[in-house]
Amino acid sequence: MRLLALDVGNTRLKWALFVGGIIRDHGALILEEISTLNETHWKSLSAPDRVIGSNVAGEAVRHRVEDQLARWGVDPEWIVAHPAECGVVNGYDRPALLGPDRWAALIAARYRVPDGPCLVITVGTAVTIDALDDRGTFVGGLIVPGFGLMLDALEAGTAGLRVPSGDFQTFPTNTSNALMSGGVHALAGAAERMARLLAERNGRTPRVLLAGGAAPKLAPHLRFAYTMVDNLVLEGLARIAEARAQVALPLRAVAGGD
pLDDT digits (tens, 9 = 90+) for 164-212: 778 999 999 998 899 889 999 999 999 999 999 999 999 999 999 999 9
Contact 77, 52 (CB under 8 A): yes
Q: In the β-sheet with 126-132, what is the strand arrangement from edge to edge?
A: 84-85, 88-90, 137-145, 126-132, 118-123, 207-211, 227-228
Fold of 117-236: Nucleotidyltransferase; domain 5 (3.30.420)
For the chain, give every residue range classified as CATH 3.30.420.40: 2-78, 117-236
Residue (of 87, 81, 77) closest to 6 by Cα position: 77
Whether residue 54 has pLDDT greater than 60: yes
The stretch 15-30 carries a mean pLDDT of 96
> What local confidence, expressed as pLDDT, does residue 165 receive?
77
Tens digit of each residue's pLDDT (9 = 90 or more) over 118-173: 999 999 999 999 999 999 999 999 999 999 898 888 877 776 666 677 899 999 99
**130 in catalytic set:** no
Q: Does domain 2-78 have CATH number 3.20.20.70?
A: no
Among residues 25, 75, 101, 167, the one annotated as catalytic is 101
